[in-house]
Amino acid sequence: MEAILLQVLNGLDKGSAYALIALGLTLIFGTLGVVNFAHGALFMIGAFCAVTVQKVLTLSKITLDPVKTDFLGNPLQIKTPYVEGWFGPEFGAALIDWSVPLAILFAIPIMLVIGVVMERGLIKHFYRRPHADQILVTFGLAIVLQELIKHYFGANQIATPAPDVFRGSFDFGAMMGMDPNVVIYPYWRLVYFAFAAVIIGAVFAFLQFTTFGMVVRAGMADRETVGLLGINIDKRFTIMFGLAAAVAGMAGVMYAPINSPNYHIGMDFLVLSFVVVVVGGMGSLPGAVLAGFLLGILESFASMNEIKSLIPGIDQIIIYLAAIIILLTRPRGLMGRKGVMED
Amino acid sequence: MLGIKGKDLTLLCVVAVLALCAPFILNPFPQSSAMAQFNAGYPDLMQRFVIFGIFAVGFNILFGLTGYLSFGHAAFLGVGSYSAVWMFKLLSMNVIPAIILSVIVAGLFALVIGFVSLRRSGIYFSILTLAFAQMSFNLAYSVLTPITNGETGLQLSLDDPRIFGTSVSDTGGIPVTSLFGMEMRETSTLSLGDWSFQFSNGYYLCAVLLLVSFYISIRIFRSPFGLMLRAVKSNQTRLNYTGLNTRPYTLAAFVISGMYAGLAGGLLASMDPLAGAERMQWTASGEVVLMTILGGAGTLIGPVLGAGFIKYFENIFSKINDNVLHQWFGGLPEGLENAVVWFTEHFVGSGWNLTLGLLFMLVVTFLPGGLVEGGTRIGRLIRGKSKRAEKKAAQSKPAE
């Protein structure tokens, strides 16, 4: 029981990341009909927004200590971050500590702009081209973005810690009346899950309860008719692309403390997210979310020692295996609609 | 001759001449000149041109003819490499059994994967092949370590059995790969004045196999089978409605292209007997897609050109560094020089991948037919024949 609960919890944070990326992918696919292989790169850029904010906040003024010397005999350097100088040491330290959540505020406008520029500058020209061309051009774009990040941030992982408050773990078992120290779960992962739930809820609410969302949904169902009604649907779809990029970016920002970002984190997630989208059903938003969590939890179950000793290596391939089985038995995925991507 | 005629025969001859004279053609600059760094006429690089040429020619049979975009072809290359190295370990250092086994194993692999993946088409097919390739990659890294030697990669060692060969060579080292005693890495050098041309046995083996593969690919393109594959690309639904089951055809194409990949993998291992899982990674699959597209998917010569182009520039661009750039732009005023060098730096050295990505985007956007289409366009410009004139010429042909 404890073991099962633990694995479900472990699956939640990865599942949240999959769900968020897959949600964005599906939004883009459902609205614009474009298969975006650069979506993982957007996730990565989000993660590097967190890195950038952290780096900027910890930019330090170096002063020399008048008395102490370091081991080489030079005067000891004291680094004081500029923010501490400007806002006072306490508030400055708090700012640095909270750099990852702060990065979200920074990431949202950036990702929106990147998304809109990407759509207007590149993707727009590919609506009428075959899906293979769309895959290829966005694949090229993903390489470019990844290499740019590698050029400026290096190839190593960059640690971006979560705020102090969320460090440490939460004893889930004790709360549920089980033995303490059995089901332990890091706070930040809990935060990540909650965050993902809020974002997913917000996206659905936006589509369901606003006029804008209603028009977008109508456009997803029948773009031509909506256009004939005198609505500039292209503009709205562009905004949806920006929104999808922002969702991927925020997923990246918040994921940075869980897994220190490096330049190929996006590609690693992209392949899996595509599998998630296909399993959920191309073009189905609830399907993407459901499949994201499902596959995340499945993956963490497969990495249990009991199961690994039963079928060695299953943890490495479970997602792909599940995808293959689902695609062969339910060709449209779990919740795919008829008529989407059938050609 | 050989059952092909006209343009195809010319094309085959051109490829043959190019492949056989590559040590001369790729070495146009004298050794002592500053341009010598643009020479590509050394065996290691030429082998890569040819091997990846084979890989891309095979990929083109699937993608170019049927339009099925596989994102997992590197898996077959990797499997081919592993089987070849195992042959070297167990049987002998002769490359023939190794290459044969790698082709067969890759073919079987492709049969299984193709049988499953080809049930779906379009993006689903791409994702399925990608999933299979990633599965093989992950397994090669983890559970299959006894077979693949995990992260280190599979290598030869002194205590391998090698039933029909020797475990240890006369000099006490690991024996080298050979073709009936002809060592693969043996190279003879011909010095003509300031030029030195290198001829390696390994390269010529690869070149001959490239010619054979290219010939087979021409025959496939021109056969009724090839025509059927093209029909699948243009309208599969219609084919199905005429009562034709297309799956055997696509499966055959998939297996053939998998065998080509296996051949390429076997050759890679024959030239340098080691195999690593990173050859199966999906970026490697992306690379072969790129070569095919860049050269021109669906054309005969395109993939060979694309493979050569990418491997050549990968090699050249990776070699250029800061100092070279400063030399080149030394004539500019200092501020401008630094700016230009700073800008160019992004694209050379380790930034080659960036150039590759950009190139990829540009080609897909502006030149979907790849280099071959670019060549035709330029040719048309030179001949001064506009598109319209050509159309007119086409229209004036009597309709049957």
Whether A61 is in a domain gets the answer no
pLDDT of residue B102: 94
- Residue A62 phi/psi, 5-degree rounding, is -100, 120
Both structure tokens of B123: 């993006």
Question: How far is B73 from B130, CA to CA, in rounded Å?
Answer: 8
HSE-CB at B177 with a 13 A cutoff on CA atoms is: 30
Quickly state the pLDDT bin for B368 (edges 50, 70, 90). confident
Question: Using the beta-carbon criterion (under 8 Å), do A136 and B346 form an inter-chain contact?
Answer: no
Domain membership of residue A188 (yes or no) is yes
Chosen for mutation from B135, B139, B367 (greatest number of chain A CBs closer than 10 Å) is B135
Question: Over pLDDT 70: what percentage of chain A?
Answer: 94
**Residue A71: inside a domain:** no
pLDDT value, residue A220: 82
> At CB < 8 Å, which residues of chain B contact A?
67, 69, 116, 119-120, 122-124, 126-128, 130-132, 134-135, 138-139, 141-144, 282-283, 286, 289, 293, 346, 351, 353-354, 356-361, 364-365, 368
Q: For residue B71, which of B326, B368, B381, B292 has the smallest C-alpha distance?
A: B292
Residue B392: pLDDT band with limits 50, 70, 90: low
Q: Is A67 within a domain?
A: no
Distance (Å) from the C-alpha of residue B239 to the closest C-alpha of chain A? Answer: 14
Contact residues, chain A to chain B, C-beta under 8 Å: 35, 122, 125, 129, 131-133, 135-137, 139-144, 146-148, 151, 267, 271, 274-275, 278, 282, 312-313, 316-317, 320-321, 323-324, 327-328, 331, 341, 343
CA–CA min distance A329, chain B (Å): 11
Chain A hits for B359, Cβ within 8 Å? 140
Nearest residue, CB atoms, B357 vs list A133, A140, A324:
A140
Q: And the tokens for B127? A: 């994702």
Contact A135 B126 (CB under 8 A): yes
- Listed in sequence order, the residues at least 6 apart from B247 whose beta carbon sits closer than 8 Å to its beta carbon are B118, B119
By percentage, how much of chain A surpasses pLDDT 90? 13
pTM recorded for the entire structure: 0.84
What are the CB-based long-range contacts (under 8 Å, 24+) for B13-20? B14/B301, B15/B210, B15/B211, B15/B214, B15/B301, B15/B304, B16/B211, B19/B50, B19/B207, B19/B210, B19/B211, B20/B204, B20/B207
**Residue B293: partners with Cβ closer than 8 Å, 6 or more residues away:** A136, B306, B360, B363, B364, B370
The answer to whether position A81 is within a domain reads no
If DSSP codes are grouped into helix, strand and coil, which group holds residue B248?
A: helix
Residue B225 has a pLDDT of 93
Considering its fold, how many domains does chain A have in total?
1
**Is pLDDT above 60 for B400?**
no
CA B125: distance to chain centroid?
A: 22
pLDDT of B56-102, one tens digit each?
A: 999 999 998 998 989 889 999 999 999 999 988 888 888 888 999 99
Give yes or no for residue A343 having a pLDDT over 50: no
Q: What is the pLDDT of residue B38?
A: 75
Mean pLDDT of A66-72: 72
Tell me the average pLDDT of chain B: 83
* CATH number reported for the structural domain that contains residue A114 in this entry: 1.10.3470
* pLDDT at A201 > cutoff 90: yes
Which of B59, B136, B143 to mutate against chain A (most A CBs within 10 Å)?
B143
Domain of residue A291, residue span? 2-55+105-329
Contacts of A282 in chain B (CB under 8 A): 123
Q: Do B135 and A316 touch (CB under 8 A)?
A: yes
DSSP characters for A222-285? Answer: -HHHHHHTT--HHHHHHHHHHHHHHHHHHHHHHHTTTS---TTHHHHHHHHHHHHHHHH-TT-H
Q: Which residues contact A221 (CB under 8 A, 6 or more apart)?
A: none
Answer whether A287's CB lies under 8 Å from A281's CB. yes
Flag whether pLDDT at A40 surpasses 80.
Answer: yes
- Which position has the higher pLDDT, A255 or A310? A255
pLDDT confidence of residue B211: 92
Measured distance CA(A261)–CA(A159) in Å, rounded: 7
Helix (H) or strand (E) holding B98: helix B95-117
User: Is pLDDT of A342 > 70?
Assistant: no
Q: Look at residue A334 and tell me if it is in a domain.
A: no
With vertex at residue B33, the alpha carbon angle to CA B31 and CA B38, rounded to the nearest 5 degrees, is 75
Weakest mean pLDDT among A9-13, A40-44, A48-52, A287-291: A9-13
- A320 CB neighbours in chain B (<8 A) are 131-132, 134-135
- pLDDT tens digits, residue range B149-187? 877 888 887 777 777 777 777 777 778 777 777 777 777
Strand pairing class (B274-275; B154-155):
antiparallel
> With an 8 Å Cβ cutoff, are B361 and A137 in contact?
yes
Burial label, A235 (beta-carbon count in 10 A; 0-12, 13-18, 19+): exposed
Per-residue model confidence as pLDDT tens digits over A277-306:
888 887 788 888 999 999 988 888 888 777
Whether A158 maps to a domain, the answer reads yes
Give the pLDDT mean for A316-333. 82
Structure-model confidence comparison of residues B113 and B338, the more confident one: B113
ipTM of the complex: 0.79
Whether A99 has a pLDDT exceeding 50, the answer reads: yes
Residues B79 and B238: beta-carbon distance below 8 Å: no
Q: Cα dihedral angle (B347, B353, B359, B360), rounded to 10 degrees?
A: -160
Whether A310 has a pLDDT exceeding 70, the answer reads yes
User: Is the residue at A292 inside a domain?
Assistant: yes
| Contact by Cβ (8 Å): B147, B85 | no
